[in-house]
């Protein structure tokens, strides 16, 4: 009885082991091929769900069904017009035929290495075949002028190809070379471009020189405008002072004329009042011009002597 139990347990264990080695599950993000002694067997499995294989003889190779990332190395590349630039690129790719992919590349690591050779090579060829202006620009639009000093900037040369078309050329050429690898490159873009250090320093120096020239121009124009404002101020001040002096003299003249008229009128109307006025003014003069220590010599016909004589 005990022997039968052991045999039964062993049969169940073997059955479970066989079943677990004959079943595999694919999820939505995976695709697979089955190999036997290292060689592919049957068609690729691309649909998610439960699948079967020969236990212990077959092995399952899983591959990603999603879009995969390729990030290129930053390389120094010469353009057609002999300008050296650093180019950084990226791409997106997918495994379209897992069987062909396994035969030619085996795994994603080998695929990334192969894409490095293909995409970097096509990038170099494309950049070496076009001028720098075509690589950094996509359209022939005129630069936007936001400041008056920018109106002096020369119009940019027209491009015949453009950055977007160069990216498309690289993508098409690379896909031609990956057609038998079981992969397809979905998109290719230039992530970043820059001059090499030596050229970049010269470009910065030119930019600094240009900005200094513009600053000097602004300073010169500002100084000229300041001198103009100062001259206008001096002219306006002199004009204001001249007009004020003229108006003051006119007012004084009118006041003297009115005073003379008033004096003459008063003189003609009241002789006694006029004499009183003259007497008071004379006395005021005495008070201001003499004190107890003052000695004066008067002629007999002076106004002072006339009033003093009347007082006596």
Q: What is the DSSP secondary-structure string of 144-170?
A: P--SGGGGGSPPPPPPSS-HHHHHHHH
8 Å CB contact between 186 and 174: no
> Which pLDDT belongs to residue 211?
82
> Which pLDDT belongs to residue 150?
52
Domain extent for 156: 68-195
Same domain, 125 and 24: no
Strand-pairing partners, residue 245, are none
Assigned domain for 261 exists: no
Assigned domain for 263 exists: no
Same domain, 46 and 85: no
Assigned domain for 254 exists: no
> Which pLDDT belongs to residue 122?
94
CA dist., res. 117 & res. 124, Å (int): 11
Closest to 186 in 3D by CA, of 46, 31, 101, 68: 68
Assigned domain for 236 exists: no
The parts of the chain modelled with pLDDT lower than 50 are: none
> Which pLDDT belongs to residue 274?
61
> Which pLDDT belongs to residue 113?
93
- In the chain, the number of structural domains is 3
Assigned domain for 80 exists: yes
Assigned domain for 310 exists: yes
Same domain, 51 and 75: no
């Amino acid at each position: 009885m005990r022997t039968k139990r052991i045999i039964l347990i062993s049969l169940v264990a073997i059955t479970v082991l066989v079943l677990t080695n004959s079943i595999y599950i694919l999820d939505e993000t995976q695709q697979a091929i089955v190999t036997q002694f290292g060689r592919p067997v049957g068609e690729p499995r691309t649909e998610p769900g439960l699948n079967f294989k020969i236990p212990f003889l077959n092995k399952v190779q899983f591959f990603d069904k999603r879009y995969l990332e390729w990030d290129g190395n930053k390389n120094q590349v010469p353009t057609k017009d002999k300008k050296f630039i650093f180019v950084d690129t990226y791409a997106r790719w997918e495994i379209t035929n897992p069987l062909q992919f396994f035969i030619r590349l085996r795994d994603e690591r080998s695929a990334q290495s192969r894409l490095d050779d293909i995409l970097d090579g096509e990038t170099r060829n494309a950049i070496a075949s076009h001028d720098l202006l075509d690589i950094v620009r996509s359209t022939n639009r005129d630069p936007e002028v936001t400041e008056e000093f920018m109106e002096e900037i020369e119009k940019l040369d027209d491009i015949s190809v453009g950055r977007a078309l160069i990216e498309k050329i690289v993508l098409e050429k690379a896909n031609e070379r990956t057609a038998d690898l079981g992969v397809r490159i979905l998109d290719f873009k230039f992530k970043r471009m820059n001059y090499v250090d030596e050229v970049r320093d010269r470009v910065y120096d030119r930019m600094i020189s240009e900005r200094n020239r513009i600053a000097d121009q602004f300073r010169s124009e500002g100084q000229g405008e300041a001198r103009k404002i100062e001259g206008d101020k001096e002219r306006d001040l002199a004009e204001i002072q001249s007009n004020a002096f003229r108006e003051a003299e006119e007012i004084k003249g009118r006041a003297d004329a009115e005073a003379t008229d008033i004096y003459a009128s008063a003189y003609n109307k009241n002789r006694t009042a006029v004499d009183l006025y003259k007497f008071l003014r004379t006395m005021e003069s005495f008070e201001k011009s003499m004190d107890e220590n003052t000695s004066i010599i008067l002629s007999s016909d002076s106004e002072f002597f006339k009033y003093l004589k009347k007082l006596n």
